[in-house]
Structure formats: structure tokens, C-alpha cells
Amino acid sequence: MASVPARDPVADLFRRRLPMRTAYTLVRWKNVLLGAVFYRLSRRAPKLMRSFLRKGAVANLPAGYDVDTHFNPHYNPWDQRMCLIPDGDLFRSISDGRASVVTDTIETFTEHGIRLTSGAELPADVVVTATGLNLIPIGGLTLYVDGSPVDIPNTVAYKGMMLSDVPNFALAVGYTNASWTLKCDLVGEYVCRVLNYLDAHDLQVCTPVAPDTDERIPLIDLNSGYVRRSLDDLPKQGPAAPWRLYQNYPRDVLMLRYRSVRDKGVRFSRRPAPARTQAPVAR
């Protein structure tokens, strides 16, 4: 967890000095690039980022607070999702005694709340479940191609938005390290580009093809429980673009918005003509 300002002073300055559209574009890219730098640093220097985040928690919590139990998890930054705290309000609530944190595992529910594996019981009027979910690929739908069901775990994601050997089908998988809508916007633009290309060249079918290697890696690079439990049900990634998700918005902008829709990972074709049946001849 990291404390960040609830209001962005740079964004406020841009809005005062620049036209709204220009200010919006600059702030958007500023946030994207800062997030990307923070993510890359977390992956390449996890010890440094752990130390940085721990020092932030220590500075915002009362002296003697058990930071290493409650705010220094066993996993590295961005192995699971990062939580940003506006103006450190969570830390402030803990310091003021208006909130508390208990780090443990749940054994069972009781008549009055929750019993933990340590034996302690937490009284609770309301319990909000925020874990235990499982990811379901494409909402639990079953895909068929020419009458045969598609084995989704054996498909390879093309540009993170289409599945190998599944024609004319796109899906949106957002970023795990940035706003989900950033990738969804790019996917929408790319689908429109593909449709325009098909129309312009009198084509009807766009089919991704899997890379000519057996190397496969998980689609989502997080070790959260809900991700680990679902990895065997999700499509896979290949070793490199265009079959690899890099969780990198600037890179995806170049690939999905500006580069050609034709590359080694996709095949365009015309729809087969329907079989003609000979009309009966009167005799």
C-alpha cells in the first residue's frame, strides 16, 4: 500500500494554464508513464520498492506500530495488485483509533463474527467477502468453431485480445498494473481497424494463428489467489509479440493503434462460398 495525494497538483496546474483537452492528454500520459516506471522498478528491484513502501507506512503510522506484520506482506510489490491510499486516509484512521488491521487467516464463521486460525475471534455485524472468487474465461461461454467446441486453455492469446484458431472473435483483457479501460479502449480501436481492413479488401475472416513454438506462459502475471486458481482455465501466452502481453500501454499504443493489422500472427481470408445444390429438372 502507498499513500498518494487525493488531488494531483500537476493536473491542477495544467488545467489552470492549458486548454482542457491538452491538459487531459498530458495528465493521462503523465499518469500512464509514472505508473509504468513504478511497475517496472517493482519488478526489477523488488527489494528497493519493498523498502520504499515500508518506510512510507512507518512514516504514516504511530510509533511502535507493527508495520512488518500488517503492511509488509510476504510477496513483492506488484506480485499482487497495489493499493493506493488517497492522502493516507487509511493510515490516518489507524493512527486516530478509528480503524484497526488484523492480519491472519480465517478458520470459520461464528455466531458473532469470524474465528481466526490463531484462535482469536473478531466480532462483526457485517462481513464483506472480498476474496475467494475465481476468474471465468469469456464469462463462462462455450465457443464453437465449425461445430467443434474450443478448448480455451489450449489457445494462445493474440495481442491479448483474440484467440488462436478462433475466427472473428475478440475479447478485452485490461491491464493489471494500470487502469483497465486503457487496454479496453485500444482493443475497441483495433477491432474497428480490422473491420475496416476486411471491408476494404473484400475479406470476411480474421483468424489468429498460434506461434510455431511449444513455449507457453500464463496469461496474467499476478500470483493473487484468484489468479492462481484460474490459470489452468485461461488462454496462454506465447514467448514474444504479438502473442505476448507486456502490460505496457505505450507499447500497445504503437502495436494496436498504428502498426499494420497484418503480421505473422494472423490470417485473413474470404468466407467460403456456400455449396450450391442443383435444382431438380422436370422430366
Is 29:62 a contact under the CB 8 Å cutoff? no
The stretch 163-177 carries a mean pLDDT of: 92
Is the same domain home to 10 and 88? Answer: yes
Q: Domain boundary at 130, 147, 179, which?
A: 130
The confidence band for 139, taking pLDDT boundaries of 50, 70 and 90, is confident
210 C-beta neighbours (distance < 10 Å), count: 19
- pLDDT higher than threshold 80 for residue 275: no
Instruction: Name the grid cell of 162.
Output: 483474440
- Looking at residue 281, its pLDDT comes to 58
Check residue 145 and report its DSSP letter: E
Number of folded domains in the chain? 3
Residue 11 lies in a domain: yes
271: helix, coil or strand? coil
Is the same domain home to 47 and 119? Answer: no
The confidence band for 257, taking pLDDT boundaries of 50, 70 and 90, is very high
The stretch 124-139 carries a mean pLDDT of: 84
- Looking at residue 123, its pLDDT comes to 93
Residue 45 lies in a domain: yes
- Looking at residue 278, its pLDDT comes to 60
The stretch 140-146 carries a mean pLDDT of: 93
The stretch 206-235 carries a mean pLDDT of: 90
The confidence band for 14, taking pLDDT boundaries of 50, 70 and 90, is very high
- pLDDT higher than threshold 90 for residue 129: no
Is the same domain home to 217 and 169? Answer: yes
Could you tell me the sign of the dihedral formed by the alpha carbons of 45, 46, 48, 53, in that order?
Answer: positive
Encoded amino acid at 201, one letter: H
For the stretch 85-128, pLDDT in tens is 999 999 999 999 999 999 999 999 999 999 999 999 999 999 98
3-state secondary structure 225-257: HHHHCCHHHCCEECCCCCCCCCCCHHHHHHHHH
> When comparing pLDDT for 46 and 133, which is higher?
46
Separation between Cα atoms, residue 118 and residue 19, nearest integer Å? 57
Is the same domain home to 122 and 184? Answer: no
The stretch 151-172 carries a mean pLDDT of: 95
Percent of the chain with pLDDT over 70: 96
Instruction: State the average pLDDT for the chain.
Output: 91
- Looking at residue 279, its pLDDT comes to 58
- Looking at residue 176, its pLDDT comes to 84
- List the domain range (segments joined by +) for residue 12: 2-99
- Looking at residue 241, its pLDDT comes to 92
Separation between Cα atoms, residue 262 and residue 194, nearest integer Å? 9
Residue 34 lies in a domain: yes
- pLDDT higher than threshold 70 for residue 280: no
Instruction: Name the grid cell of 124.
Output: 462483526
Percent of the chain with pLDDT over 90: 75
Residue 283 lies in a domain: no
